[in-house]
Amino acid sequence: MVVFGLVSLAADMAYEGMRAMAGPLLGSLGASALVVGVVTGTGEALALVLRLFTGSWADRGNRHWPLTIVGYGMTAVCVPLLALTPFLGAAGLGVAITLILLERTGKAVRSPAKSALLAQMAPEGGRGKGFGVHKALDQVGAFSGPLLLAAVAAATGLIWPGFALLAVPGAAAMVLLLWLRRHTTAGTDVDDVPAGPPRGRAADLRAAVLGSELPRAFHLFSLSSALTTAGLMTFGVISYRLVEDDLVSVAAVPLVYAVAMAVAAVAALANGAAFDRRGGRTLLVVPVLVTVVPWLVLGGSLAVVLAGIVVWGVAMGIQDSTVKAYVADLVPTRRRATAYGVFAAVQGLGALVGGTLAGALVTNHATALSVVLGVLQLAALGLLLRATAAVPAR
């Protein structure tokens, strides 16, 4: 778990550094707020929806390691290439959008397989803590990358040199990952869960790709998480607003993001430990946190906005760690990558809706946006209560 966490630490330096500055970079290349919202929302949707296919692919052919390696490789290549976009003239914006979306596609390629490997590596009864430790190390990279970009932007007054430097952690992630592949047996064992009776091709497709035979509690939980994802605005939209409202300088944006990632690391550890003791009901706090975020980050004053970003970081930390531990508890071992793919695909639809809503409403209709996202969180809370009620308490 620790070495895998170090892989994620290095990779997160690259792609979280990119995400921290994606809004300002796109803006500097001529993008509007709506374009930033659609691109970042679409990127998150791709990173989630495509897992519907890559998860089942990993389970069907035991391809967990190859897909993990390819996915990390896409991130290691695409992020540094963003350094070239300011020199491409009118084509720069299109190339930047393409690289951002390709990097998010790499995330989709690796994530279900990686999560299944992590669930196998985590000790029984300590899955929440295991995912929490991994997420905490992950978050060290998530704030180190933005800090690096902030330092470079402050020193040079430019965005692109920071992207070029992110080639170093990208390469380190690949070296660590290939070392881990040679020194672990995770992903090589086939469990003994029976395959079940023969079915027709249509039933096989629904089961493999859509997870039609996964438990009902899992599907309720997936829908709830999709609604919380829709409500949790992308940092691209938040950072665009910070710069446009002159609350912070472009160079300070990565510092703000780094604070959020540090908060997310602490939240992942704390909620993961609570999850191992109390189970899924520890996740009931997520819709409440997500409801609060837009009222704060769109509040106007810097102090209120920073408070909102701290709450955003807490929600992100739980959403990307303990939530995954709960998915592993809800489904059979042999279907975990499929389940992670289905779960992420449903989340991706939420990300696309949320990113588009935020991009369209954040500039002139901030109050309406906050109300709409709050209503979505009420629905998310209801679904989450039903999902956790269907699973015995610990």
CA distance 36 to 240: 8
CA distance 351 to 295: 19
Lowest-pLDDT range, 88-92, 229-233, 277-281, 376-380? 277-281
**Single-letter code of the amino acid located at 52:** L
pLDDT at 211 > cutoff 70? no
pLDDT at site 200 = 46
pLDDT at site 101 = 94
In a domain, 124, yes or no: yes
Model confidence pLDDT, tens digit, residues 189-198: 544 344 444 4
Percent of the chain with pLDDT over 70: 90
Q: What is the mean pLDDT of residues 136-148?
A: 82
Token pair in block for residue 75: 């991130």
Q: What is the mean pLDDT of residues 324-329?
A: 84
How does residue 179 score in pLDDT terms, banded at 50, 70 and 90?
Answer: very high
Q: How far is CA 54 from CA 5, 68, 76, in A?
A: 21, 10, 19
Question: Which range scores top for mean pLDDT: 226-240, 304-318, 347-361?
Answer: 304-318
Task: Please say whether the beta carbons of 162 and 155 come within 8 A.
Answer: no
Q: Kindly report the CATH number assigned to the domain that includes residue 257.
A: 1.20.1250.20
Lowest-pLDDT range, 60-64, 103-107, 157-161, 380-384? 60-64
Model confidence pLDDT, tens digit, residues 98-111: 999 999 999 989 98
pLDDT at site 175 = 94
Task: Please say whether the beta carbons of 311 and 259 come within 8 A.
Answer: no
State the chain's mean pLDDT as an integer.
84
In a domain, 369, yes or no: yes
pLDDT at site 141 = 84
> Of residues 145 and 60, which shows the higher confidence score?
145
In a domain, 190, yes or no: no
pLDDT at site 199 = 46
Q: What is the mean pLDDT of residues 282-299?
A: 91
In a domain, 244, yes or no: yes
What is the sign, positive or negative, of the torsion defined by CA atoms of 296, 298, 300, 303? positive
- What string of H, E and C letters represents the secondary structure of the chain? CHHHHHHHHHHHHHHHHHHHHHHHHHHHCCCCHHHHHHHHHHHHHHHHHCHHHHHHHHHHHCCHHHHHHHHHHHHHHHHHHHHHHHHCHHHHHHHHHHHHHHHHHHHHHHHHHHHHHHHHHCCCCCHHHHHHHHHHHHHHHHHHHHHHHHHHHHHHCCCHHHHHHCHHHHHHHHHHHHHHHHCCCCCCCCCCCCCCCCCCHHHHHHHHHHCCCCCHHHHHHHHHHHHHHHHCCCHHHHHHHHHHCCCCCHHHHHHHHHHHHHHHHHHHHHHHHHHHHHHHHHHHHHHHHHHHHHHHHCCCCHHHHHHHHHHHHHHHHHHCCHHHHHHHHHCCHHHHHHHHHHHHHHHHHHHHHHHHHHHHHCCCCHHHHHHHHHHHHHHHHHHHHHHHHCCCCC
Q: What is the mean pLDDT of residues 64-74?
A: 93
In a domain, 254, yes or no: yes
In a domain, 240, yes or no: yes
In a domain, 204, yes or no: no
> Of residues 289 and 241, which shows the higher confidence score?
289
pLDDT at 235 > cutoff 70? yes
Domain containing 93: what range?
Answer: 2-182+214-389
Domain count, the chain: 1
Q: How many CB atoms lie within 10 A of CB 62?
A: 14
In a domain, 194, yes or no: no
Lowest-pLDDT range, 30-34, 166-170, 206-210, 332-336? 206-210
pTM exceeds cut of 0.75: no
